[in-house]
Amino acid sequence: MFESVLVANRGEIARRVIRTVQRMGLRAIAVHSDVDANMPFVRDADEAMEIGGAAPAQSYRDVDAILEAARRSRAEAVHPGYGFLAENADFARRVQAAGLVWIGPSPDSIAEMGDKINARNLMAAAGVPVSPGTEAPVEDAAAAERAAADIGFPLMVKASAGGGGMGMSVVTDPATLAAEFDRIQAFAARMFGDPGVLLERFFPRVRHVEVQILGLSDGRVVALGERDCSVQRRNQKVAEESPSPGVTPELRQRMLAAAVQAGQAIGYRNAGTVECLADVESGDFVFLEMNTRLQVEHPVTETLLGLDLVEQQLLIAADEPVTFDPEQLTPTGHALELRINAEDPQRFLPGPGAITTWVEPTGDGVRVDSGYAKGTTVSTHYDSLMAKLIVHGIDRDQALDRARGAVAAFQVAGPKCNLPFFAELLDNPEFVSGAYDTGIVARMREPR
C-alpha cells in the first residue's frame, strides 16, 4: 500500500476523500487555489499546497502544477475526485508516468468511455441495449437532418465529449434541429475542445437509473446496486435515491447484469457508473453513458451497503482485495441524497456569496458531506454544490421523514440556497408516491 495520497480536487469531495485516506492511516495532501486557502478541505489535510489562481485552468485543471505539488510533497498516489481532471485520460497517463499510483480506472478505459459515440458502439457490441442514434459524429446540420429522419423525434443533440448535463439539447420540432445542432456544435468546440456531436432518440417519460460498478484487482466486475437520479433540473441531478421506487426486482436484475457486462467488455477496474434510461411501463432500458470515476451521489450506495467506496478505490489501486465479499452484500433500508446548492429554489440560478450561517443537521440516519463552513465563500469560479445531505431509513417512508427533519434543521445564510426546494420536493405528491420521472422538476415549476 502507498502511504500518501494527493487529492487533486476541492470542496466536499476533497474533504470526503481526505477523511478516508486519514482513517486508513495514510497521509493526505491537499492542493488548492489561492481563493480556497481557508476552505475546510485545506485545513483537514495533513499537508496543503497552493498551486495557482482561482480559475480552474490555473489550478485544479493545471496538470503541471499538480504534478509539481505531488513531487514536492512526495505523494505516492493521486485521487482525482470527480469533475476537473477526473476523466482526463492524459492526466491519468501523466500521473502514472511520474511513477505515481492513479486511483481510478485505466487511462484507456477513461478514453474509451469519454467519447460518447465510441462508448455507445462498444456497449452495443457487448450486448448492452442502446437507444437508436448516430454511430459516428454528425458533420453538419444537413447531415443531422438526414440522420433525424431515421431516428425520429423528439431527439437529443449531444456533445460527444460533454458531461455533467452540459452540451445537450432536446429537439421536438424538426424545424429547429439545424439551429440547435449548430449551437451545440459551437458550444462543444468551445467548452470541450471537441466539436463531435451525436444524435439519439429522446424518451420524455423515463427514469434516470444508474448502476454502481466496481472492477476488482482480481479482474472481477461487481454491481453494487442502482441509484435513481430522475430528480433533475437542466439535465443535472439534484436528488438521488436507492432502491429506485420505479424499478422492479426483475428489471433491477437485468440492469445490474448489463452493467457488469459493460464493465467486463472493457476490462474495467476501480469505481465506475453505468448510466441508463429506464422506461418503467415497458420495462425497457438503454445505456446512456459510463462515468469512469467516483460519482457525486456515491454516498447513497455507501449508506445502503455500509461500505466506504473510497476505501475500496484505494485498495483496488494498490492491487489489494476489497473489504467485503461481493457474494454477501445486503442492502439495508432506503437511502436518499439531496444536493445542497448555492442557487435560488425557484429558477435554480446560481447565487454565490459569503456564508454567514452554516448549521448542519444531525440525528439518526443523517450524514452531511460538506465542502463549506461559516466564514467561507462560495465563488463564481466553481460549481454550486455546497454540501450533500444523505439520509438513511428502514424504508422509504422513514427516509423521507428523516429528510424532511434534516432539511428543516439545515441552516444556510449568505449565498442563495435550494433548501426550500427540497422541503417542497419532499412533500410533492408525485415524488412521495415514488412514481416520478425525469420531468418532475419541470412539472413542479410549470405555471399554474
| Contact between 351 and other proteins per CB under 8 A | yes
Nearer to other proteins by Cβ, of 149 and 349: the residue is: 349
Q: Write down the least CB distance from residue 349 to other proteins, Å.
A: 6
Binding mask 330-349 for other proteins (x = CB under 8 A): ------------xx-----x
| Contact between 14 and other proteins per CB under 8 A | no
The footprint of other proteins on residues 151-190 (CB under 8 A) is 164, 166, 187
The footprint of other proteins on residues 415-444 (CB under 8 A) is 416
Residue 76 · residue 100 · CB < 8 Å: yes
Residue 343 · residue 349 · CB < 8 Å: yes
Nearer to other proteins by Cβ, of 348 and 358: the residue is: 348
3-state secondary structure at position 128 = coil
| Contact between 149 and other proteins per CB under 8 A | no
Give the whole-angstrom CA distance, residue 108 versus residue 112.
Answer: 6
Q: Write down the least CB distance from residue 383 to other proteins, Å.
A: 5
Nearer to other proteins by Cβ, of 175 and 349: the residue is: 349
Residue 228 · residue 206 · CB < 8 Å: no
Q: Which of 222, 232, 142 is nearest to 445 (CA)?
A: 232
72 is catalytic: no
Single out the residue of 195, 333, 352, 405 in contact with other proteins (rule: CB under 8 A). 352
Nearer to other proteins by Cβ, of 9 and 301: the residue is: 9
Give the whole-angstrom CA distance, residue 272 versus residue 215.
Answer: 8
**Structure letter (DSSP) for residue 224:** E
Residue 275 · residue 130 · CB < 8 Å: no
Q: Write down the least CB distance from residue 179 to other proteins, Å.
A: 12
Give the whole-angstrom CA distance, residue 231 versus residue 223.
Answer: 23
Give the whole-angstrom CA distance, residue 269 versus residue 440.
Answer: 35
Residue 400: CA count within 13 A, CB half-sphere: 15
**Number of CB atoms found within 10 A of residue 413's CB:** 13
The footprint of other proteins on residues 212-251 (CB under 8 A) is 234
Give the binding-site size for other proteins (rule: CB under 8 A). Answer: 17
Single out the residue of 384, 388, 400, 402 in contact with other proteins (rule: CB under 8 A). 384
| Contact between 387 and other proteins per CB under 8 A | no
Selecting among 15, 16, 120, 293, the annotated active-site residue is: 293
Burial class (CB in 10 A: 0-12, 13-18, 19+), 189: middle
Residue 177 · residue 133 · CB < 8 Å: no
Single out the residue of 181, 287, 372, 382 in contact with other proteins (rule: CB under 8 A). 382
Per the listing, cell 449565498 goes with 415
Q: Write down the least CB distance from residue 350 to other proteins, Å.
A: 4
Single out the residue of 363, 380, 411, 443 in contact with other proteins (rule: CB under 8 A). 380
Does the CA dihedral 126-130-134-137 come out positive or negative?
negative
| Contact between 350 and other proteins per CB under 8 A | yes
Give the active site residues: 293
Binding residues for other proteins, per CB under 8 A?
A: 164, 166, 187, 234, 342-343, 349-353, 380-384, 416
